[in-house]
Amino acid sequence: MDDEQPFQAVLMSTARELVERGSDGDLELAVVAAQMACEIQTEIVISELFDRRGLSELGRIVRAPGALRGNNLRDDRVRQLYGELSGDDIASKSFWSDFVAHAKLRNAVVHSGRRVDPAEAEASVRVAAELTAHLAAVLREHGRKI
């Protein structure tokens, strides 16, 4: 079991495959899968940073269902919590504006049925990979490899 890839890595691989295939619906699914990978990575990082600070119980309370609207770093509350725990001003990173565009696109796909063209799907998968790699690097800086 230790050889298994983390689920967020599987989702990113799936997103890349969907972009390459590019059949009807694949591009939209690629955007959604890429965002799922970002949100899972965010959840792991925030939970681990609570644990690293000896605040596991507080982390469980803050992360309880309904306390936040999810794990999307585009959400101000999630981003602020992440920043406080990590010391990382993620909104200042070079990929941030592309991530915001990706997150908005994901919402339009899921909530409005928006169709995605190949360039948009490729951009979404690329920025999701940048974000997940950045989050993994931040967590490594705090002492845990993911």
Give the separation between CA 79 and CA 73, rounded to whole angstroms.
5
What's the CATH code of the domain at 78? 1.20.120
Task: Say how many domains are in the chain.
Answer: 1
Structural domain includes residue 85:
yes
Structural domain includes residue 1:
no
pTM comes to 0.89
Structural domain includes residue 2:
no
Query: In 3D, which of 143, 28, 66, 8 has the Cα closest to residue 77?
Result: 66
* pLDDT at residue number 1: 43
Range of the domain at 25: 7-141
* pLDDT at residue number 65: 63
Give the separation between CA 34 and CA 44, rounded to whole angstroms.
16
Structural domain includes residue 146:
no
Q: What is the pLDDT of residues 43-81, one digit of tens each?
A: 999 988 988 878 766 666 666 566 566 889 999 989 999
